[in-house]
Structure 1
Amino acid sequence: MLMYNKQKKSQSQSQAGKNRLLISITVIGSAGPIRFVVNAEEVVATVMDTALKSYAKEGRLPVLGSNVNEFVLYCPIAGTEALSPVEAIGSFGVRNFMLCKKPQPVEDVGDGKPVTVGITRKNSGSWKSWFNKLLNLKVSTH
């Protein structure tokens, strides 16, 4: 009887471990993937929220924010379509994902140049781009 209880307990523990997944989410522009354990039944939106919180907690760059509605989760193996935020993460059969910002809407201005709406930038870029601009101003073309 004691042996039966031990077997039953080990089987229930192994079954509980089957519905948990170690997933890896790569954020575009970041140094490396974020890895954490999730339940296979968790929805994509919850996983994205957890990934954004982990990303911010680790102090990674670039700073992304925490609004899940501004991001989409892709499965590189499944294709180019973004995953539905209400589907279970375990239903895709993969463990590697990619987190990207949603594309910004583009408006056409009267002069024919497209302008991206909603993106503002406080500085003009990195020191390398600033240095290149400085060199381009001093070099004259004849």
Structure 2
Amino acid sequence: MGAVSRRAASPVKSVSVCPCGLSEPYETCCGRYHRGGVAAPTAEALMRSRYSAFVKGDRGYLLRTWHPRTRPARLDLDPGMTWTGLELLGATEGSAFHSTGTVTFRASYRGGSLHERSRFERVDGAWVYVDGEFLDE
């Protein structure tokens, strides 16, 4: 029998799919917004990045992207909440050519879901979350 060549396995970098539901890796999808320096270009992108921030427990990003007029003084996230998926149901306006927009979505969590129509506005050129209306299932 011949000698067996043994090579050390090269480390495999784990790439996680973004929680927002798009097929991109988190780091190049919502992660780039969470890190700062790049703002979400549309109301939909901001909504998706905010959902991902809830999944990741990123309070700072959630507060930074909340309209100053409606932003709470502090944000307490439930550490027991497990978000399981995001379904985009519709959007109006919210593009690079608009100053306002709405996004309707269903965010699922272990044990239920949240159905909301969120309102967004631009402040100093950046999209921010204003408020949301809970919708009946």
Relative to the length of structure 1, the TM-score reads 0.28
Higher helix fraction (1 or 2) = 1
How high is the TM-score relative to the length of structure 2?
Answer: 0.28
